[in-house]
Amino acid sequence: MRAVILGIILAIAGLMGFLFFRGECPGGQVFATEAKCREAAGFDAAFCRISFAQARRRAYEDASPFSTQDACLRHFPVCEPHHKVVSGYVPTPRGVCVTRDKPGEPVFEKIGQSFQKR
C-alpha cells in the first residue's frame, strides 16, 4: 500500500515538474515585437507578420472579455478595451509565441508571476 501511495506522489511530482520547467512556449520563442521576430535566425518577415496578426486576433477579438477593467486587472497587469464588445476588457499580451508548427499564440503575464521561465 505504501508503494502505491509513493508511486502516486512521485507521478504527481513528476507531472508538476514537467509543467513547471517546459516554459511558456514549448518548441518556439517568445518575441515582444514583430521586429525582434524578424531579427531571429530562421524567421522571415512574412512568417512573423502572419504569426503576430493571428496572435493579435486571438488576444483581442476572439478572447472572452472581462466585464470591467478592474476585473481584468485583478488577473493581468495590463488590460485594454475589447475590439468587439462594448464595455469589455481583455489582457494585453506581453509577447507572441512563434513556432514553425502552429500559428502565433499570445503570451500573457499574469498577476503573481515573479519569475521568468527559461
- Distance CA(16)–CA(47), nearest Å, equals 33
- Distance CA(68)–CA(80), nearest Å, equals 10
Alpha helix positions (H), 22-118: 34-39, 45-56, 69-73
Task: Give the pLDDT confidence of 65-109 residue by residue, as tens digits.
Answer: 999 999 999 999 999 888 777 888 999 999 999 988 777 889 988
Whether the pLDDT of residue 29 is over 80: the answer is: yes
Instruction: Scan for cell 488590460, then name that residue.
Output: 79
CB 13 within 8 A of CB 78: no
- Distance CA(55)–CA(48), nearest Å, equals 10
- Bridge partners (DSSP) of residue 80 are 90
Of the two residues 12 and 32, the one the predictor is more confident about is 32
- Distance CA(6)–CA(39), nearest Å, equals 48
Q: Is 105 helix (H, G, I), strand (E, B) or coil?
A: strand
Whether the pLDDT of residue 7 is over 50: the answer is: yes
Share of the chain above pLDDT 90, in %: 27
Confidence (pTM): 0.68
- The predicted pLDDT at position 24 comes to 74
Domain boundaries, the chain: 26-107
